[in-house]
Chain A
C-alpha cells in the first residue's frame, strides 16, 4: 500500500515560464545540485519537504502548484 505512489512536478515547465531558467540556475537558487534537478524533472527522485518548499519559492508558487502527489489505485 502506498509503495507505487509518485510525486510528480511541473519544474521543467515552470523553468521555461521563468525566463528559460537553466537547471543550474534553479539548482543554485534552491540550494541543491544540478543532478538533483535533472532527477526531479525525470520524476526519479522525491524531494524532501524542505527542498520542495525551496523550489516552489524560487518560482513564487505554492508547493501544490509545483508538486502533485499521485497515489496508486
Chain B
C-alpha cells in the first residue's frame, strides 16, 4: 500500500474517531446536566442543571466544528490533496465549508448573546475560560504533531511538500483550536 494512501486512511480514521468521541461527549454532557445526582430546585425536587451561556456556545461549537472538519476531510479524501491548487472548484468548496462553519458559529454566538442579554458571566465562567486554553493548546499541538509526522513520512522520498499543505495546516489548526477550546470549556465546568 502506498504511504500516502496509508496516511489518508489514518487521517480519515482519526477524524472519525475524534468526531465520534466528541459526539459521545456532547451526548453525555447533556445527559449529565439532566440527571446530575442530588441537584434540587427551589421546591426541593430534582432539577436539570441549567446550562450557562458558555456551555450552550461550547456545545454548538463542538457540533459545528466537528461537522466542518469532517466535511473538509471528506472533500480531500474524495479529490486528493494534490488537486487542491489544480482544481479551482475544490479550493472554493473547502473555503466555503470553512467560512460556512465560522459563519454558523457566529450566528450561534449572536443568538445566545441576545438571549442572555443582561445575564452576567460569573467567576466560574471566568475560571473556566482561563482554564480552557490548556485543552486548546494540547489539541493544537497534537494536530501539528500529526501533520509533521504524516507529511514527513509521506513525502520523505520526494524531499519536498505540495504547496497546498501550509494552508491546510493553518485551516485544520484553526478549526481544531476552536473545537478543543469548546471541549476545554465543557470539561472546565466539571472541574470548577
Q: Which residues of A contact B (CB under 8 A)?
A: 15, 20, 22-23, 31-36, 38-39, 41-42, 45, 47-48, 50-51
Q: From B116, which residue of chain A is reached at the shortest CB distance?
A: A33
Q: List 6 A-B contacts (CB under 8 A).
A: A23-B41, A31-B120, A32-B122, A33-B124, A35-B52, A38-B47
Count chain B residues whose beta carbon lies closer than 8 angstroms to a beta carbon of A: 17
Interface membership of chain B positions 48-77, coded 1 if the CB is closer than 8 angstroms to chain A and 0 otherwise: 011110000000000000000000000000
Q: From A25, which residue of chain B is reached at the shortest CB distance?
A: B42
Alpha-carbon distance between A9 and B41 when the two chains are bound, in angstroms: 16
Interface residue? B156 (CB, 8 A) = no
Interface membership of chain B positions 102-143, coded 1 if the CB is closer than 8 angstroms to chain A and 0 otherwise: 000000000000000001101111000000000000000000
The smallest beta-carbon distance between B102 and chain A, in angstroms, is 27
Q: Which residues of B contact A47 (CB under 8 A)?
A: 123
* A35 lies within 8 A of B49 (CB): yes
Interface residue? B192 (CB, 8 A) = yes
